[in-house]
Chain A
Amino acid sequence: MTAAVREASKASGPPPGTRRSGPRFHIGTTALVYGALVAILAVGAVLVAADGKNLFSTGNIVDMLTRSSLLGFIAIGQTMVILCRSLDLSVGYVMAACSLIAALVMNGSEANVPLGIAAALGAAAAVGLVNGLVITKLKVNAFIATLGTGLILKGWLDTEFAGPAGKVATSFQQFGYTRISLVPLSTVVMLLLAVAGVLYLRKTRAGHHIYAVGGDTDVARLSGIRTDRTVITAHILCAVAAGVAGLLIAARFGTGSALVYDYGLDLESIAAVVLGGTYLMGGRGGIAGTVAGVMILAVLDTVFNILEVNPFYKDVLRGAIIVVAVAIYARRQLSARPSRIRFAAGGAS
């Protein structure tokens, strides 16, 4: 993306995805993120207990998990594109569009449920394909390309749908409300998607290509990877994940809604991904960390809600926590550098 970034990624040693440095790094940062999650849970529990309430009551646990699923879907997709040094700002609009498409196609009929899901996810994939093509073939910066497609979708949504539209089938609403003991079905689906994503990134060739492209596009291309195809695939996966979030919205609301793009999930998902330890400039990190990042944000929200913190104070705290967390990761990455450079020099001699 930038000269500075190229330099930064060169300075940090061999592109991850190569077996030697990659996995070790994941475990380190991911463990740190889960440590932070546990710490925040502990601090939250103490604060809530001081208020005379219980953070781990059934209601509160369900609240935390429910909050995490919507952002979780989007953040999982966002991780894919950020890993290959791209970005998707259109996810909120894709989510809104998919909720409408699913609700309109289903139109309350049980028989149309599979068709509705397919139509919504198909449309999402199409948007992802367009994003990927604009970025790779037209060479438009990902920030502008996805901002642009987002605006295009926003115009369509605002023009066609002033209010809620369509009606999902009753059985489909189960996706939004069913719980398996404490865990909402949507969270289970989100976690399954996360596991699938982790396996995709770690075990498949295409997944390794994503790390390679994010680490250094030129090196990846010279190594025989079709970099354009990798980026396009990542964007399609990201948009489809946003589409699943749209399905969840439709299931929860019982109808499609255009206004959900206003939730600010695009920037929040980027924050969650980075909070999860994924390097914003690509090539390092993973979905396991992202899930923890999403959980951290969900726990914060739940704790603030229980303590009845002023919602505006919440924004201040959340902004500060995100910046502090990322500063801590950056520190770790800096201290990890010298040893790796020395190692590279030793290997060359």
Chain B
Amino acid sequence: MSTGRKFADAGRFLISGSGTVYLVLIAIFAVIFVNNAGFFEAGNLLLFVKKAAPLLILAVGQYFVIVAGEFDLSVGSLVGAQVVLAALLIDGEEARTWPVILLMLAIGAGVGLVNGLITTLLKVPSIITTLGMMLVLFGAIRLLTGGAPTGKLSDGFRVLGNKGIIIESVGVVPWALFIVIAVGVGAVFLMRSSFGRTLVAVGDNEKAAGFAGTRVWWVRTAAFVLSGLSATVAGILVGGYAGLTSQVGDGMEFVAITAVVLGGVVLGGGRGAVLAAMAGALTVESLFTLFTQLEVSSTLRPTAQGLIIIAAVAYASRERSRRHTPHLSTKPAEPNGHHPDRVLKESR
């Protein structure tokens, strides 16, 4: 493939539905750079990563659920519940750190399993299932602590979200960065495995996937379990980064869904890439950073946020419909190695 073709391909990808997010991300970083070049010093960037890490991980979990055609509204309160529970159980004792983290992972997987089974086996729409779970978790955790969070997170617990290892010439590289990279690489491999393909297929056309031999209920349930696990990891990072407050996790489910959708993942399932979802999360976080730099009054931020989501999603869906009309009359699908989802979608 000639260099020119490659550039043209890259260009087409960037203005395509799921490439939009990278353009937006580059644009926001460009504005940040013009405003304050100091942001791009290693130290500041690493600080930014530490702050953005929980949302990135939450976006990965939400991606699995959304691409399979469902929603998970319970992640915000799950993050909050996990942090409060961890503080209650650890209560400042170092020795309890790891057992509690294991327990948290088990709880996260359990919550995901319950969400998944209620949604798939009892046929309750996932919005309602996870809304119910959100209420249950919210109430349960406050019931347990009597309203105000009690206990204390151990220093060992907070290391993951707050500290890093010192690397020569770069400075302190936060653990959160390694965790994000690990989760990201894991997610990409998972989406390329047969499980990932099945997940997308289920989201695209549940019936066809069922006829092809997929156990639809199990694949969707697994997506919810992954979401619960990622909310747990996000909770560990948030707890480390921000410490214990009663508002931990508030409203995070909507930010995570926004991030995933901003990444070009289509609500309703079957379309979108996990890396783009992570880029969406990074975009949301960099947007917040930009607002801080531009000294946008904090009360006006939601307005800007709302306008940007609508604009980005409208642009992506316009590109999608424009790109697809010609294919109806011409040859079915171009071989397109670098973008598996597209092939899947077009061969429908």
Interface of A with B (CB < 8 Å)?
1-5, 7-8, 11, 134, 138-141, 143-145, 147-152, 154-156, 158-159, 267, 270-271, 274, 280-281, 310, 312-320, 322-323, 326-327, 330-331, 333-334
Contact = CB atoms under 8 A, between A and B. Distances in A.
Nearest to A319: B135
B107 to A, nearest CB: 16
B69 A323 contact: no
A280 B310 CA distance: 23
Contacts of A315: 135-136, 138-139, 142
A2 B70 CA distance: 10
B267 A316 contact: no
Interface in B181-221: 202-207
A159 B301 CA distance: 10
A331 B138 CA distance: 27
Nearest to A11: B207
Contacts of A8: 206
Given A145-B310, A319-B136, A322-B131, A4 B302 contact: no
Contacts of A281: 125
B212 to A, nearest CB: 14
Nearest to B310: A148
Interface in B257-271: 257-258, 261, 266-270
Interface stretch (B21-29, B54-62, B223-231, B313-321): B313-321
Interface string B300-327: 1111111101100110011001000000
Given A1-B268, A139-B321, A320 B303 contact: no
A148 B261 contact: no
Nearest to B122: A327
B71 to A, nearest CB: 8
A323 B257 CA distance: 22
B305 to A, nearest CB: 5
Contacts of A267: 73, 131
A129 to B, nearest CB: 15
B140 interface: yes
Nearest to A314: B139
A319 B122 contact: no
Contact of B140 (A4, A138, A316, A330): A316
24 contacts: A2-B268, A3-B269, A4-B202, A4-B268, A7-B207, A11-B207, A134-B314, A138-B314, A138-B317, A141-B267, A141-B313, A143-B267, A149-B306, A151-B306, A155-B305, A158-B299, A274-B125, A310-B143, A312-B147, A316-B143, A317-B139, A319-B133, A322-B128, A322-B135
B143 A312 contact: yes
Nearest to A1: B268
Contact of B125 (A7, A140, A280): A280
Contacts of B71: 143
B198 to A, nearest CB: 14
Contacts of A140: 310, 313-314, 317
B123 A148 contact: no
A140 B128 CA distance: 22
B124 interface: yes
B283 interface: no
B131 A270 contact: yes
B133 A148 contact: no
A317 B139 CA distance: 9
B38 interface: no
Nearest to B114: A323
A214 B301 CA distance: 34
A270 B127 contact: yes
Contacts of B129: 323
Interface in B269-309: 269-270, 297, 299-307, 309
B129 to A, nearest CB: 6
A44 B89 CA distance: 36
B307 A139 contact: no
B228 to A, nearest CB: 16
Contact of B257 (A143, A318, A334): A143
Given A144-B261, A280-B127, A312-B147, A156 B303 contact: yes
A252 B266 CA distance: 41
A154 B304 CA distance: 10
Contacts of B142: 312, 315
B23 to A, nearest CB: 18
